[in-house]
Amino acid sequence: MPYTDLPPDHPAARPAAFPEEPADFDVFWTETLRTARAAGGLPEIRPVADSPLTTLDTYDVRFAGWAGQPVAAWLVVPSEAEEPLPTVITYIGYGGGRGQALDHLLYASAGYAHLVVDSRGQGHDTPDPHPDGAPHWVHGYMTRGVESPSAHYYRRLITDCVRAVDAARALRHVDPDRIVVQGASQGGGLALAVAGLVGDGIAGALPDVPFLCHIRRGAETATEGPYTELVDHLRHRAPYAAEQVFATLGHFDGVHFARRATAPALFSAGLMDPVCPPSTVLAAFSAYAGEKDIREWPFGDHAGGGGATAVEHLRWLGARGLAPGRQP
């Protein structure tokens, strides 16, 4: 995708207006999280007995998410490390799950405890058994329960992600004062949502090419990916429902979470991204209330900076005193 969303001199092309915030945004999320926490319990953790790794230990973790429903996660930690450790919690991109523990070795290899959270209904280990009965016309998750914020899929998934932070605090491997949330695409949007909902309850956020930011603009400009599900829905099934659809989705928009986030954050954006157009990412970055920085990749697509992103993460964490063995 060439510079069809933002030209090279993009600062002048940023959206002039943020999406309208739902009047009940704070009440909606306060009550949602209160109810979820009331239904939850302590996480369960067991070693992965047949792991072939010799320098890292892996654990299967199950914790209570939305409505107390079990959510799967992997915990990967350096063997024989002194605990508790600075911890990275990773949320997964659209359509994926936690996969195999062997898929997630970077942060633990750098000395961190690493909690990798499955995505309900997208991964294979966490079902989405919510019997809301809401129509679901288009493949994917963007329109699942779009008739009401209370029934929408992302209410459940974002709740799971906040509860992952609660669960991490109960694990002996984790330093509760040095938890960082991270993810790319959908995972980046989820990290941003958690940053907004837990405030200074985390030490940092790493949202890469985040999805679910300025959702309406995403639907208007993305040429690939999940935003096109909304276009299909509004074109074929609900041509008169645009205002209602975007009012529902406003409860899950990263721009609104960004306004409430106070932890330091490092964003990234690919300026040729056809899935999460850079103007949507920059809208969330501009709104972010905490200390922030961004890595913009001029020729990056939805992969952003690719492998260079991991290097930027580790450097940023080290500079903030969040590297293993250092204290902030």
26 inside domain: no
Q: What is the pTM of this model?
A: 0.94
User: How high is the mean pLDDT in each 10-residue block of the chain (328 residues)?
Assistant: 58 63 98 95 93 94 96 96 94 96 96 98 87 57 94 97 98 97 98 97 98 96 95 87 95 98 98 94 96 96 96 97 76
DSSP class of residue 200 equals G
Q: Where residue 112 sits, what CATH number does that domain have? A: 3.40.50.1820
* Residue 29: inside a domain: no
The Cα–Cα gap between 270 and 280 comes to 11
Residue 267 has a pLDDT of 98
Which residues does the annotation mark as catalytic?
Answer: 185, 273, 302
Q: How many domains does the chain have?
A: 1
- What does the DSSP 8-state code read for residue 103? G
The answer as to whether 30 is a domain residue is no
- Crossing angle for the helix pair 25-39 and 153-169, nearest 10 degrees? 60
First-residue to last-residue Cα distance in the chain: 40
Examine residue 3 and state whether it is found in any structural domain, yes or no: no
Does residue 111 lie in a domain region? yes
Domain that holds residue 154: 35-319
Say how far apart CA 295 and CA 309 lie, in whole Å.
8
Say if 166 falls within a structural domain. yes
In a domain, 75, yes or no: yes
Q: What is the pLDDT of residue 82?
A: 87
Residue 179 has a pLDDT of 98
Q: What is the pLDDT of residue 15?
A: 53
Distance CA 139, CA 102 (A): 29
Q: Does the residue 10 lie in any domain?
A: no
